Structure 1
Amino acid sequence: MATQIESVESIRLIIFIAVFAVMALWEFLAPRRPLSSSKAPRWGSNLGLVVLNNVMLRLIVPLGMVGVAYVAQASGWGLFNAVEAPYWLEVLFSVILLDLVIYLQHVTFHLVPLLWRFHLVHHADLDIDVTTGLRFHTIEILISLGIKAAAIVLLGVPPVAVVTFEVLLNSTAMFNHSNIQLPLGIDAVLRWLVVTPDMHRVHHSWHKRETNSNYGFNLPWWDRLFRTYRDQPQDGHLGMTIGLKQIRDEQRAERLHWMLALPFVSKSTNATERKED
């Protein structure tokens, strides 16, 4: 099992690097918005956080979520291990249900003050580009790991579905946070199938009602179903302000140690209770 998981992780890393490279090049050639600060310090800190998070995950759960799926499968745990269904259907529904879990998790991180303290590190970025999709506090990553592990065990998610979901989630997070220019007609069609950059950018607005919308990372349907969908930002994509109103210190926002300390020093409560200026 360990050898199989190592092979899977190698494939995931290759796909991650390829998607990141494509998005970064696309941002350079056709940016949607001008950035408010230099890329170098932001990218250094955001990517530094990615490295730190991956080291922590390796130490705590060496076999990752695929390993959890293998254990659940071998033990006969979970819904899909208890019912008879075509394998392809199990994989399809597993990916869809895991995406719903991530949507609900995202909403919860906005609503619960303690969880928001960690999630606001993601929203404290004063620009939005491909690295923003990777900028999450280490404790948020660990909490998310526990939620995903519980969902995998309860659902009995097949290992193939876990790999598929993780690759899709990472790839679409980089895609929909990217500062790329998409023709409006293509965006209008795509956002029925996947969360687009224009759709998710609304979620990074400093206006409270916009921060509390468009929670989806991969599939766009949950926002429409649960009425958290907002079509466009009130200030327009070129005029909108990215980030949080209470955190506007550019030099601090770009420092890795500040991002790690932010949940413990921030006076903010949660995204729902924040007052509109």
Structure 2
Amino acid sequence: MDVFMQFWENIAPWQRMAILMGGMILFWLIEGYYPLFRFSWKRYKHAGVNLVFLFTTVVLNIVLGSITIIACKWVTDHEFGLLNLFDLPLWANIILSLLFMDFFAQYAPHYMMHKVKFMWKFHMIHHSDTKVDVTTGTRHHPGEWIFRECFTIIGVYMIGLSIGMYFLYRSMSAIFTHFNHANIRVPLWLDKPISWIFVSPNMHKVHHHYKRPYTDTNYANIFSLWDRLFGTFAYTDPKQLHYGLDVLEDSTDESLSYQLKLPFNKNIKTDY
């Protein structure tokens, strides 16, 4: 286990990028053979729009991620945070780090972005995709990523996250993001047991339904525990779902300029 964590403590930038892109490419290929929905669409054009948002996320992550790494180093040097209060075995630290970071860096900001109007206007870009696939997981307005990273830094201080744990969490989060958004057909007999502990593809697809109450469910990214604990868990047959948002025209989902300006568009009415 020590060797395992040494890898994450010293992981190179190219290795982190390889994990990010490798997972996306893997599920992109699987989608082609076992699709949940057979969309009538130009797959490469759709991916191109979403990958522009991935580029802005990577750029922001270089800037904001460096601040987060400084926070990780500080809590480690000062033995600050919840996990530093207990002498736990490494395997337990890994599980608890992933569990609590899924709350602070994903569930909490995700929940807030569905409840606070000005935050929701940024998050709408992610939900506006009417053809959810593996690239949808990268579809985040730059403003949304700032919200998320601020919550991530709070999580680092609260639980005392080391640099290695931070990089491990980021990679696991990316893999689950690809897995959950991928347009893959997972039989219910397999997907449901997965959703007892982890966020499964069918479970997350419910979150992308075009209107509430389903839109306001399943906020976690790795562990379904948080949604079950806070009463936001929902599950239904994904083939009954309709992607997008009821306050937007489906035809605007691949207009990059429209999407980037969406948070500032006062003509879009929302109840959030």
The two structures have a TM-score, normalised by structure 2, of 0.89
1:263 is matched with 263
**Cα deviations by residue, 1:61-115 (Å, 9 ceiling, x for unpaired):** 3636344312321233323334443343333212111112221221111011111
Q: Which of residues 24, 31, 41 is equivalent to 1:20?
A: 24
AA aligned to 1:106 is H
2:52 is matched with 48
Mapped to 1, the partners of 2:150 and 2:87 lie a distance apart of 27
SS in 2 for 1:76: coil
AA aligned to 1:93 is L
Ranges of 4+ aligned residues in structure 1 off by more than 6 Å: none
Q: How does 1:142-221 map to 2 (within 5 A)?
A: 142-221=146-225
SS in 1 for 2:157: helix
SS in 2 for 1:245: coil
2:66 is matched with 63
SS in 2 for 1:131: helix
Return the offset for 1:181: 0.9
**Cα deviations by residue, 1:15-47 (Å, 9 ceiling, x for unpaired):** 112211110001001100122432222211100
Contact 2:209/2:245, CA 8 A, preserved across alignment: yes
Identity %: 27
Mapped to 1, the partners of 2:164 and 2:229 lie a distance apart of 27
1:78 is matched with 81
Mapped to 1, the partners of 2:96 and 2:9 lie a distance apart of 22
Contact 1:8/1:163, CA 8 A, preserved across alignment: no
1:223 is matched with 227
Contact 1:117/1:269, CA 8 A, preserved across alignment: no
SS in 2 for 1:63: helix
Mapped to 1, the partners of 2:249 and 2:125 lie a distance apart of 12
Return the offset for 1:238: 2.8
AA aligned to 1:257 is S
Contact 1:91/1:160, CA 8 A, preserved across alignment: no
Please give the root-mean-square deviation of Cα atoms over the aligned residues, in Å. Answer: 2.1
The two structures have a TM-score, normalised by structure 1, of 0.87
Mapped to 2, the partners of 1:6 and 1:64 lie a distance apart of 17
How many residues in Structure 1 have an aligned counterpart in Structure 2?
A: 264
Contact 2:247/2:269, CA 8 A, preserved across alignment: no
Mapped to 2, the partners of 1:230 and 1:92 lie a distance apart of 24
SS in 1 for 2:213: helix
Distance 1:191 1:73, change over 3 A: same
Contact 1:125/1:242, CA 8 A, preserved across alignment: yes
Contact 1:32/1:181, CA 8 A, preserved across alignment: yes
Deviates more, 1:69-78 or 1:206-215: 69-78
Consecutive unaligned residues in structure 1, runs of 5 or more: none
Q: Which of residues 33, 36, 49 is equivalent to 1:32?
A: 36
Return the offset for 1:193: 2.6
Mapped to 1, the partners of 2:209 and 2:126 lie a distance apart of 12
Asked if residue 89 in structure 1 is aligned to residue 53 in structure 2, the reply is no
Consecutive unaligned residues in structure 2, runs of 5 or more: 1-7
Return the offset for 1:147: 1.0
Mapped to 2, the partners of 1:266 and 1:148 lie a distance apart of 29
2:243 is matched with 242
SS in 2 for 1:242: coil
AA aligned to 1:47 is L
Contact 2:9/2:164, CA 8 A, preserved across alignment: no
